[in-house]
Structure 1
């Protein structure tokens, strides 16, 4: 069959191109084979990415074993932990588009026949999935694997423990030595941070979607299994090419429903409410926030991992990983969906349910005895969020599931953090942080610094937080994000004033601003859109093009 690489390397007219390929060290035999692009987000800036060069070499070995020629290239990868709490976080979500664009452009320009997509961390994995959908070349995604949990004084710790430790230090509960000891113990080596945060949630969804190999989500970054998965991923990409199995054959509406159910059962990161719809948009599959809401009401919560509980990804792996979760969910899944690691997603399911226990609790509960009859993510709506907003319900204390209080309004995250540090915020209040949406932020910054101060300090369980921005997958508590439409677009968030009562009801999926409609209309006449925070560069272009969080924050025209 004709391959995309033929237009680069075949025929007398392509002698100049072959000359360039020979400069790379390729010979006639290499050029006679399919060319498999290996997209790699390796760098020495991000712990989740620092080992990906090794995985890329192993994946290349797998490609060669299967009879094709590997060609590696790199794309960017931003660490949300390093970017957190300062202007750098504006770059995080927009980087998803840069990753997708760079993979698309490299594959298009060089005529690759198939792809191995190697990535870790929050925006890079969905960016590569988006590119895979656009290109629709046979592809396999290989995630870098989770970091092992740290240990301090006999307790497991992770990066979120350190963020919350800052609050304990600020409140006088901890001294400098205690915080320093935690800092040194929490992140023991390579991999994506060890809880069910955004990076590991997305890795689990790659497996549930069927575009990663079975077991790929939970094997630790430094484990021998991760190396085996890398080689196998290279072979699988060539096998998909031979079968002409493409991403759009795999990423159907039913596949997104399967992935969403796994997400809800695991109590995954609310960032998936941005990423799954964005990937589905590129896959031409209809899947959005309304589906999260519908499925959440019918999908039980089965596993309580950090930040909702003490368990980490390594415990999920020991319990059988995503395959065991899918086995528990089997009656709710469409197991006929195609998968790159087998004939169908049925081949990914564990052979039997797992009763594995760790830290005195069952890691994966059953449909008959779930942690909760509804999923770990809830979609709320009401007059404050006509198009919806999201909360990680699995990580909200029971006493906070129904809550109302006066608003304390801030126009940016920095002002809210300063108010917390100045002890201005009172128990019983609803903290409102606006103009942090996709366009207004711009970039829809995560607010882990703020949520960690609340969760780790004296206001834990005593205040709620509502924003048109978003939260780290490591956030917990009554933190409601993605309020849509956003304030910068004239959404109701822009009309809230200090003292307005906001009522939350997670069980009934409601969020209400208790202000008369006539008063809101009066305020709207006086509202003026704030000045842009950036006046040139990539973020200006992003703010002009990005759509609503309710639709996945995809760029207009995509």
Structure 2
């Protein structure tokens, strides 16, 4: 339909100059007479000649209606776009997928979770490449969406700013703050007869009262803290809860910041270095964060061409004190950190203690230390402690290795009273069988539950085991058994639970050779994971071992299993920046 109020641009307005877009990828879709068809599409969406002549900034969200984690992202993206436009850019919004772990948990859907991280990174890469965007702002909420977007930023290496959608507010149940973890653990309590069906129903209806990601220091908040520590997010943006309208200030500022980065030519790989990766690992350790960081940080490093594996992450974990008393191992939630000043308070405490590299650049164009100059650790609170008075002298996570995990493993120790465990193995070849045994209470105190063939290739997809571990805790057995797996654990998992055991069972790793009754020894103080077995028996079992065929012989999970690498190196699916012959940002 004609709009008499809008006139067509004059010929002189319709062709952006080469000089105005020199060196920018969007020149390939907007500049010169040969791009007249491309500009026709842009005019069809209401862009002016001036807007077409400006830098194009992709604004990508992982918005969907699967869960509260991502539900507020679309609204925040509109404010980001205003910030981009106010600073002289032309925002172009698009979305990518999300697999929300809270919905996928405890059934075969969880096999899609880690795979989605790669699909997110790949789809953002393809959208940006296909449409020749010059810069990127990414908004994410649930677990894998955060590393997925940051991986894409590093892969593309266009000026980029990451923005977390924010944490959920705590629920209230009978006078105390609760999260979705309380609901997962209540399932175990209900099975054990310690909670009625009516009480469980009451809890499930109040545990998640708003938009936002899970409220403890689980994977989403852990990776949000990483985004600030590593320098890809604006200071303070990671800790403001999702429902707060004050998030708009960070959204607008992120849009303006990406234009400043574009003007300066400051790119993600200028910001993400080995030292900034160490900063990221330190903030996870200091807050008792998610074991999944030991998977995501190596994957992000891979996109920047930096060798940084599970053992490198573990070294930082070991030398960093635990200073934040956060759930699941502690007492407080993400909102409590926000109330005392947010992530910058944690970073400043670590910087003052000498546990961060303050010289690392950030998306503000300033160093981490410069960003934190005016930040102080508040008195009169015990959410975050100074490093001179830590909750523990070493971080809340520990890397393990030994004859059961030559390629490493990871365990969260924040809040644990017992750091060593020795007991007979009880072996399960899939999570469903282990969960059924737990719900039937057909396991014993002192056992080490082994869940295998759940690794990146063997699952495929490296599922999280929150339903199983929460049921154990809900039954009051959290300190009485241990669990090891070549799969993963949720950031909400607590108890002596060892994940990422490598090599995984599917490729014949030692975990594939374990039998019921073998004595497994876990020592989180020494950092070891081993089994008592003589070499002759090892050799005999290896001779008998045969690879297993999983049930996913087509589709996305099949393709993932063909390409995915070991968990200790991030479970990545392509050769990474070390092998690239061109960088998208330089096209």
TM over 0.5: yes
Distance 1:96 1:147 in 2: 22
Per the alignment, residue 115 of structure 1 pairs with 136
Q: 1:337 aligned to 2:357?
A: no
Equivalent in the alignment of 2:389: 369
Q: Does 1:234 align with 2:255?
A: yes
Q: How does 1:452-467 map to 2 (within 5 A)?
A: 452-467=470-485
Deviations 1:349-390 (A, max 9, x none): 2634323556xxx11111111111101110011100011100
Whether 1:442 aligns to 2:460 is: yes
Residue pair 1:327, 1:351 contacting (<8 A) in 2 also:
no
Distance 2:77 2:315 in 1: 39
Matched, 1:257 2:278: yes
SS in 2 for 1:71: strand
- Tell me the distance in 2 between the aligned counterparts of 1:80 and 1:429: 28
Aligned 1:418-497 pairs, distance under 5 A: 418-497=436-515
Aligned match for 1:287, one of 287, 297, 308: 308
1:355 aligns with 2:373: no
In structure 2, what is the Cα distance between the partners aligned to 1:439 and 1:60?
A: 39
Where does 1:513-552 land on structure 2 (aligned, <5 Å)?
A: 513-552=531-570
**1:136-161 CA distance string (max 9 Å, x none):** 00000111000011111110100000
Q: 1:31 to 1:352 in 2, by over 3 A?
A: closer
Unaligned runs of 5+ in 2: 1-21, 577-587
Q: For the residues of structure 1 that align with 2:406 and 2:235, how far apart are their CA atoms?
A: 39
* 3-state SS in 2 of match to 1:332: coil
Cα offset for 1:185? 1.0
Q: Is the 8 A contact 1:324 1:350 kept in 2?
A: no
The answer on 1:270 being equivalent to 2:291 is yes
CA-CA distance at 1:131 after TM superposition: 0.7
- List gaps (5 residues or longer) in structure 1: none
Root-mean-square deviation over aligned CA pairs: 1.1
CA distance in 2, matches of 1:219, 1:347: 21
Bigger Cα Rg? 2
Could you say which residue in structure 2 is the equivalent of 1:201? 222
For residue 554 of structure 1, the aligned residue among 556, 565, 572 is 572
| Closer, same or farther: CA 391–439 of 1 in aligned 2, 3 Å | same
* Equivalent residue number for residue 405 of structure 2: 385
In the alignment, is the contact (CA less than 8 A) between 2:66 and 2:103 conserved in 1?
no
Aligned to 2:186: 165
Residue of 84, 87, 99 corresponding to 1:66:
87
Q: Report what 1:39 is aligned to.
A: 60
Q: Distance in 2 between matches of 1:203 and 1:348?
A: 17
Contact 1:485 1:548 in 2 (8 A): yes
Contact 1:103 1:128 in 2 (8 A): yes
| Residues 8-19 of structure 1: pairs in structure 2 closer than 5 A | 8-19=29-40
Q: Aligned to 2:336, which of 309, 315, 321?
A: 315
Report deviation, 1:347: 3.2
* Cα distance per residue 1:47-90 (max 9 Å; x no partner): 11111110110000001100111100110011100000011000
CA distance in 2, matches of 1:3, 1:190: 37
Q: Quick one: distance in 1 between partners of 2:529 and 2:266?
A: 44
| Maintained 8 Å contact 1:320/1:350 | no
Aligned to 1:324: 345
Instruction: Please give the TM-score of this superposition, normalised by the length of structure 1.
Output: 0.98
Q: CA deviation at 1:224?
A: 2.2
Which aligned segments of 4 or more residues in structure 1 are displaced greater than 6 angstroms? Answer: none
Are the structure 2 counterparts of residues 556 and 11 from structure 1 closer, same or farther at C-alpha, using a change threshold of 3 Å? closer
Aligned twin of 1:86: 107
Alignment TM-score, normalising by the size of structure 2: 0.93
